[in-house]
Amino acid sequence: MSLAFCLPFVGSAADKPQLTEGVVKPFRAVTISASIREIIRKIHVEEGDRIKEGQPLVSLLSEKQQLAVERYDQMISKAQFDYNAAKRLFDQNVSSRDDALAKEVELKRLQAELNIAKADLAEREILAPLTGVVVRKFKESGESISENDPILQVMTTDQVLLLFHLEASQLSSIKLDQEYAVQFPEMPDVKGLKAKVTFIDPEVDARSGLFRVRLLLDNKEGLVRPGLRVLAPFPPPPAKAGAPANL
């Protein structure tokens, strides 16, 4: 009997998915900074604090700006009174239209100045751009900052991205919205998680021959942390021509 008939059939390993290692990235991370030079009056959060989008994170000194807003409010009240009086006299043919128009122009000028003062005041109250957690604190209350100096770093935690680099020959086998069961070597007890392909790099790196793939993983329980290794069973690259078959 021929030896070939005595050997059990074994499928090619190239046909089986292989575990590819990637890394967990935050879905969204933001470094909080100010657009002006000022002194920090108070930082309202600490590292590890949960935050909600729109809540105050950092307050800068703003006494002068607050006084400016109050001053323009008072000036507008008087200008509104003067304009109403001038318009009433014009309607009664007691004064000229030019006088009423001048009062109206002055009122609108002060209203524009008030809007500028309010915007200047708002720059000194830095709000959370997302719902998530504070991961780093670079400054303390009382410190002076310049434009674009980092103050805090925050990131979302209810979703994470899984970044992989695959061979160009795998490109045709990866599709958007495909789901893959993923596992984490440092967290063997975390099982049953599936992530969906949300990005396939349209460009292959010429030097490495690799392209990027990103998967999105729901992480509402906060079990998976950015920086961890992750494994996913992507289809393997096709066997190279002339390569011996695996038996």
Give a yes or no: residue 175 inside a domain.
Answer: yes
Q: State the pLDDT at residue 63.
A: 94
| SS3 state of residue 226 | coil
Tokens standing for residue 6: 């005595």
Whether 136 maps to a domain, the answer reads yes
pLDDT value of residue 2: 40
Token pair in block for residue 160:
């994470």
Do 139 and 41 fall within a single domain?
A: yes
Q: Could you tell me if 180 and 222 lie in one domain?
A: yes
> Model-level pTM?
0.73
pLDDT given for residue 112 in this prediction: 97
The reported pLDDT for the residue numbered 7 is 35
Q: Is residue 151 part of a domain?
A: no
The CATH number covering residue 39 comes to 2.40.50.100
Buried/exposed 147-180: b ≥16 CB within 10 Å, e otherwise? eebebbbbbbbebbbbebbbbeebeeebeeeeeb
Using 70 as the pLDDT threshold, list the residues of the chain that sit under it.
1-16, 239-247
Percent composition of the chain: helix, strand, coil (DSSP 3-state, to 5)? 25, 35, 40
For helices 63-91 and 97-122, give the axis angle rounded to 10 degrees: 160
51 and 77 fall within a common domain: no
Residue 246 falls inside a structural domain: no
In this prediction, residue 244 carries a pLDDT of 55
The pLDDT, as a whole number, for residue 11 is 42
Boundaries of domain holding 132: 33-61+125-146
* 3 within some domain: no
If asked whether residues 68 and 55 sit together in one domain, one would say no
Would you say residue 242 lies in a domain?
Answer: no
Whether residue 243 is contained in a domain is answered as no
Structural domain count of the chain: 3
Calpha distance 40→17 (Å, rounded): 54
Residue 19 included in any domain: yes
CATH code for position 75: 1.10.287
Q: Do residues 40 and 142 both lie within one domain?
A: yes
Claim to verify: residue 169 and residue 75 sit in the same structural domain: no
What integer pLDDT is reported at residue 81 of this predicted model? 94
Sheet with 144-145: list strands edge to edge. Answer: 125-127, 56-60, 38-43, 144-145
User: 152 near 130, Cβ under 8 Å?
Assistant: no
Q: Are residues 175 and 188 in the same domain?
A: yes
Residues 159-206: tens digit of each pLDDT? 999 999 999 999 999 999 999 999 999 999 988 999 999 999 999 999
Whether residues 213 and 226 fall in one domain? yes
